[in-house]
Amino acid sequence: MRKPIIAGNWKMNLLQDDAKALFNGIKEFADKYTAVQLPSIVIAPTFTSLSVVENVKCDCGCAGTKIAIAAQNCHWETSGAYTGEVSVEMLKDIGCEYIIIGHSERRQYFSETDEMINKKAKSILAKGLIPIICCGETLEQREAGITDSHIAGQIKKALEGISAEDIKKSVIAYEPIWAIGTGKTCDADEANRVIAMIRNVVREVSNSEAADAIRILYGGSVKPSTIEEQMSKSDIDGALVGGASLKADSFNEIIANTMKVAV
C-alpha cells in the first residue's frame, strides 16, 4: 500500500510573511489529525522562504512535523564556483526532505536536460533526500501520438544508474504541460493510464518491487473538485498542486478530499 502524497509547489510566489501565513493555515488543518490519518503533506516554497517555513515548523513542536518541506530545484555538485546555485547539502541543512527536479518550467525556461535531471536525482538520493522527478508531454506531442514514448524516454534517462532501493524511495510527478496552470485537468482515466505506463517503465528499467513501491503523482490544474476522482484511480498516488496550493483553504480541501478516498 503506497501512502498518498499531496504536494504543493508554490513556484515563484509569496513573500516571507505570506509564506508563513500559508504554512500556518495548512498546519492548523493538519493539527486536527494524526500523521497516520493524513497523506504525506509536502510543500515547496521558494528558496527565500524555506527557512521561514522551517522555523515555524520547529517552533510548533510535534504538529508541524507532519508537513515536509521541499525545494523546487538544486544543483548536483556539493559546493564550488556555481554562481546562483544551491546544493542538496545546503537544502538538507535548512531542513528539506524532498526536492522537485525536472519541472517542465525548468526544462522550458532554464534548458534543464534529462542528463542534468539524472545527476540531480543521484545527488539528492546520495544525501538521503527524496527527488520528485517531473515528466510530461506538450500538447503538440500529445496530438502527434508520442506521449508515451516521450515520457518513457524522460523516465529512463532520469533513473539511469539509480539502484532499485533508491528508486523505491523516489517520487515521480506526471504533469502534462498543457494541463499546467490552464484549468484543463487531464481526464482521470487517461492520467491513470499514463501513470500505469510510467510504472511499467520503472519495472522494465529496475524491478517489480521498485515499480510497486514508487509513488507517482499527477499534476496539472488539480483542484478540490478533481482530486477525489483522481485519487480513486489504481495508479495515481497523489498530486503535485500549483495554483490551488497557494491558498490554505483550497490546499486543505484537497488534502481532506484525498482522505475520503485514499489514506
Active site residues per annotation? 103, 175
Indicate the SS3 state at residue 63.
helix
Provide the mask over 163-202, with x wherever binding to ligand 13P is found by CB under 6 A and - wherever it is not.
------------x----xx---------------------
Q: Which stretch binds ligand 13P (CB under 6 A): 25-33, 148-156, 202-210, 235-243?
A: 235-243
Contacts 24+ apart (CB under 8 A), 181-186: 181/221, 181/242, 181/243, 182/220, 182/221, 183/221, 184/220, 184/221, 185/220, 185/221, 185/222, 185/223, 185/226, 186/218, 186/220
Please identify which residue in the block is written with the cell numbers 484543463. 184
How many CB atoms are located within 10 Å of the residue 12 CB? 9
Which range touches ligand 13P (CB under 6 A), out of 22-30, 91-99, 220-228, 229-237?
A: 220-228
Instruction: Kindly tell me which residue out of 87, 192, 221, 258 binds ligand 13P, with binding defined by CB under 6 A.
Output: 221
Q: What residues between 99 and 118 interact with ligand 13P by CB under 6 A?
A: 103
Subset of 7-26 contacting ligand 13P (CB under 6 A): 9
User: Number of residues in contact with ligand 13P, rule: CB under 6 A?
Assistant: 14
Stretch that binds ligand 13P, among 56-64, 120-128, 157-165, 242-250 (CB under 6 A): 242-250
Q: Which three cell numbers stand for residue 63?
A: 504538529
Closest CA to 23 of 55, 53, 63, 60: 53
Binding site for ligand 13P (CB under 6 A): 9, 103, 175, 180-181, 219-222, 240-244
